[in-house]
Chain A
C-alpha cells in the first residue's frame, strides 16, 4: 500500500470515528494513524509538526480537525452551476 492509499484508508477510519470524537473533542486537531487517534492538539500546526517528528513524512497519518465535514466548492462559480 502506498502512503497515499494509507492516508485514504486512515481518512475513512477517521470519518467513521468522527461522531464519537465530536462528543468530547469538538474543534480540536488530531493525529490519526493505524485506525486510532494518537494525539489531540489545539491547532493544526502543532498536530502536523508532532506527527512529522513521531512518524516521518511518508507514514500515512491523517491530520484533521474534529468537525463535521462540509463539501467545499472549488470556486463560487460552482455554486451558480457555471463551469470553473
Chain B
C-alpha cells in the first residue's frame, strides 16, 4: 500500500511521508468537500526538523485547503478549539499532541465537534 515504509523513527529518512488525512464533522467542507485525502508530506520542515503534527497542520493549511477561512481550521497558531485531532484513531493527547512525529502510513483524522441535536 505504501510505496516505502519508514525504516526508523529517528527522523533520518528524507523520502516524503505518505499520510492518510481525514476530515469529519463538517471540516471536509473546508477541504474541497472531500473527507479522505492521501498526501505526501516532506519528511522535514524548513529548519530540518522531522515533520511533526504542527508542521503537518500548517502544510495542510497552505497546500490542501482551498477555502480562505483559514481560521476555521487554524486559530492563533494552533488548531481551532472544537477540533479534535486523532492519530490512528487515538486522541492526539495520548500521542504527544503537536510534537508527535508523523510516521509513514499514519491516519490523521480531524474532527470538528458537532453541537446540533
Chains A and B form a bound pair? no
Chain A positions near chain B (C-beta within 8 angstroms): none
Chain B positions near chain A (C-beta within 8 angstroms): none
